[in-house]
Amino acid sequence: MIKAARKGIVGNGIETIKNLANLLSSKNYRGSVIFTAEPTNDQRKMLEDICPTKALFSVKENNAMGLDNGKCIMCGYCSEVVSETIKISNKPVIPVKMKSQIIDYSNPQTFPSEKSYEQIGNELKEKIQKMFSRSLAIRQVDAGSCNGCEIEITALNNPIYDIERFGIHFVASPRHADVLLVTGPASRNMETALLRTYEATPGPKIVIAVGACACSGGIFGDTHATTGGIDKVIPVDVYIPGCPPRPEVLIQGLLLAVDRMITNGK
């Protein structure tokens, strides 16, 4: 942040992301889980036991191991225990439209685009103009998150990502929103509030589940205090896995949401 502010003052004006690929190749970033070989029966058992969110599961019919990216919190336990067959990549998991697409059996779903953040943002801006002839309004709803996802969402408005220049802004009321960006596992205490927020949002509306918690309950799971994912309470149009997902992935999820609005007339 200090570096960005300094560059803004003494450098070449506003500092924005020029190259998404550079950011996403940060070697310390903990991203998607990759199978480097098929786990043995014993390893599968061990992995199922060690995974805190039960993201890893055995598929008995074909002796394979499945990975539910919507549940994975990128803790890295699996790669520590069975390092011969599993490792954590530095690539994020991509947003998807359907929950079934979130499950992975062999290769990781890595970020699909070589496009820069600027290019994705400009594509989004063009589509928003075409669809709405105005800007896109987002209402963020915290349905019981740890606030990790909010930190990444807040980053979209900082001088680096500056999402407003693409015609996207956050609003305080669901009555003014086109998109609901929901985080958290939908705690029981937030269930009614979430439902009412959804009902108060005028159609056509798009709901985006942000983070492992919103996609599946994440580390909180499905308990007496949590519903196990926001799609248990309201319909979801786009799932953005990750714990938390980075701003570069959030903007990709927004592009998917606008595409869905255009194709479905939603």
Q: Which residues bind ligand SF4 (CB under 6 A)?
A: 33, 50-53, 55-56, 67, 72-78, 145-146, 148-149, 183-184, 211-213, 218-219, 243-244
- For ligand SF4, the closer of residues 139 and 246 by Cβ is 246
Please tell me what DSSP assigns to residue 102: G
Considering the complex, state which of residue 69 and residue 116 has its C-beta at the smaller distance from ligand SF4.
69
Distance separating alpha carbons of residues 233 and 236, to the nearest angstrom: 9
Shortest reach from residue 192's CB to ligand SF4, in Å: 20
Q: How far apart are CA 190 and CA 174, in angstroms?
A: 15
CB 74 to ligand SF4: min, Å: 5
Q: How far is CA 99 from CA 34, 110, 141, 216, 238, in A?
A: 19, 16, 20, 10, 9
Q: Which is nearer to ligand SF4, 50 or 200 (CB)?
A: 50
- Please give the Cα distance from 235 to 135 (Å, whole number): 24
Token pair of 195 as six digits: 């439902």
Which is closer to ligand SF4, CB of 121 or CB of 241? Answer: 241
CB of 251 to ligand SF4, least distance (A): 17
Which of residues 127 and 246 has its CB atom nearest to ligand SF4 in the complex? Answer: 246
- Contacts within 8 Å (CB) and 24+ apart, 145-148: 145/183, 145/184, 145/185, 145/211, 145/213, 145/214, 146/184, 146/213, 148/211, 148/243, 148/244
Report which secondary-structure segment, H or E, holds 43. Answer: helix 41-50
Q: Where are the beta strands (DSSP E) in the chain?
A: 33-35, 56-59, 64-68, 86-88, 103-104, 136-142, 168-170, 179-183, 206-210, 238-240
Of residues 127 and 139, the one with the C-beta less far from ligand SF4 = 139
Query: In this structure, are residues 64 and 105 in contact, taking their beta carbons and an 8 Å threshold?
Result: yes
Residue 215: CB minimum distance to ligand SF4, A: 8
Q: Between vectors from CA 69 to CA 63 and to CA 74, what angle results, nearest 5°? A: 105
Cβ proximity to ligand SF4: between 104 and 237 the closer is 104
* 55 HSE (CA, 13 A, CB side): 32
Place of tokens 């970020």: 111
**Residue whose Cβ sits closest to ligand SF4:** 148
Report, in Å, the least distance between residue 39 CB and ligand SF4.
12
Cβ 152 to ligand SF4, closest distance in Å?
Answer: 8
CB of 96 to ligand SF4, least distance (A): 16
